[in-house]
Amino acid sequence: MEQTETRVGSAEPRISVTIERPPEQVFAALTNVPSHTDWARGPEEISDISDDPVRPGTTWQQVQKLLGRKLISRIQVDVYKANRRFGFGSDKPFPLQLLFTLTPVPGGTELRMLASGEPANIFGKVALPILTRSVERQMESDLHALKAILEREG
């Protein structure tokens, strides 16, 4: 089951995919944030700067290229419920929150991803519909890449 839902006028794309693996395995992949570079487009490098086990407050530094320039941002966990919910916020290029929700289903896990954020400047607000569609496409691509990796490893 795959689904894309966008609320008009908002930057809150939602994507879901069913992965033929148990929630524990999917959650382990999500909470191994430095490995997101294996399946998520964008980050070139993610490093743990808090040296904590994954929990609310755990912080990473992410390096990515945006419009040909190197961008360094911070990612911090703010939602953590083992094998059910995992979320973190990023400060650049604008404040963005990602929330992953895992639901056991027959034969695997439904993984839902919600992104929310609002560009701070007028250009970002004008470009919001285009930005939202772009984020949706990236989220869908990323979740399908994660699905392929987990199902191949299983």
**pLDDT for 121 beyond 70:** no
Residue 95 has a pLDDT of 79
Q: Determine how β-strand 43-48 pairs with β-strand 59-66.
A: antiparallel
Quick one: 112 exposed, middle or buried, by C-beta within 10 A (0-12, 13-18, 19+)? middle
Residue 111 has a pLDDT of 97
The mean pLDDT value for 16-32 works out to 96
- Give the residue with greater pLDDT, 125 vs 94: 94
Quick one: 106 exposed, middle or buried, by C-beta within 10 A (0-12, 13-18, 19+)? exposed
Superfamily, domain 3-153: START domain (3.30.530.20)
Instruction: State the pLDDT confidence band at 116, using cuts at 50, 70 and 90.
Output: confident
- CB proximity list for 143: less than 8 A, separation 6 or greater: 15, 16, 17, 111, 113
**pLDDT for 5 beyond 70:** no
Residue 32 has a pLDDT of 94
**pLDDT for 82 beyond 90:** yes
- Residue ranges of the domains in the chain? 3-153
Distance CA 54, CA 51 (A): 9
